[in-house]
Amino acid sequence: SKLDYAKHVAAAIAYLTIQQQDASGLVTFAESVQDFVRPSSQPSHLRQLFHMMEHAQPGGDTSLGPVLHDLAERIRKRGLVIIFSDLFDDPQELLMGLKHFRHRRHDVSVIQIIDPAEQDFPFEEPTLFKGMEQPIESLTEPRSIARAYRAEFAAFLSEMATGCRDLGMDYQLLRTDQPLNVALTAFLQTRARTARKV
């Protein structure tokens, strides 16, 4: 799942960060903040982070914009903030929440995680689609909407990528069919390029 994939990438980054004797913390959220562990560089801190990741469960509706505003106020010390999300929310509200982090002078990396089927839309037979966050069902003839759907989804991804980069933030798109080592290498290369620009 997207959540499991995010957990594995986040765990690897937390491990590397603490190995470098830098502090790492963790926040989980849905429509509001669920758990908040303040950063620490102690090796024993990893156990707490991994435990929290292991027990994180998908929530209901997600309101990213308000949550990001809340977190930008809570995280006082400037540092690197990495956001893992599919970013399925109102784009303008989401980008305003991200802008709040920049106003607080954080270095922000946005990692958008999607399922391949969300981008490729490989469905051909009549399919019943069910909402994950809202109880909505729709029986659809996929072939009749495939082209429009793919164009709409591509536009959404482009808006997210452009919006983040316009705010001076790193942006990375990861699909859950990518091997984790490829995802992690791509993230580290992006961070290395950012460091060279500073």
pLDDT tens column, 91-135: 999 999 999 998 898 999 999 999 999 999 998 888 777 766 666
pLDDT above 70: residue 60:
no
pLDDT of residue 30: 79
Q: What is the pLDDT of residue 132?
A: 62
What average pLDDT does this structure show over 155-183? 94
pLDDT score of 196 more than 80: no
**Cβ neighbour number for residue 116 with a 10 Å cutoff:** 12
Among the residue ranges 16-20, 126-130, 168-172, the one predicted with the least confidence is 126-130
pLDDT in tens, 31-57: 788 888 889 999 889 999 999 998 888
Contact 59, 40 (CB under 8 A): no
pLDDT range class, residue 141, cuts 50, 70, 90: confident
CA distance 114 to 103: 28
Looking at per-residue pLDDT, the higher value among 131 and 5 belongs to 5
User: How big is the chain, counted in residues?
Assistant: 198
Residue 77: pLDDT over 80: yes
> What CA–CA distance (Å, rounded) separates 128 from 142?
10
Q: What is the band of 195 on the pLDDT scale with cuts at 50, 70, 90?
A: low
When comparing pLDDT for 3 and 63, which is higher?
Answer: 3
Q: Is 43 helix (H, G, I), strand (E, B) or coil?
A: coil
Residue at 52: amino acid letter: M
**pLDDT at 126 (0 to 100):** 82
- Asked whether the predicted pLDDT for residue 158 surpasses 60, the reply is yes
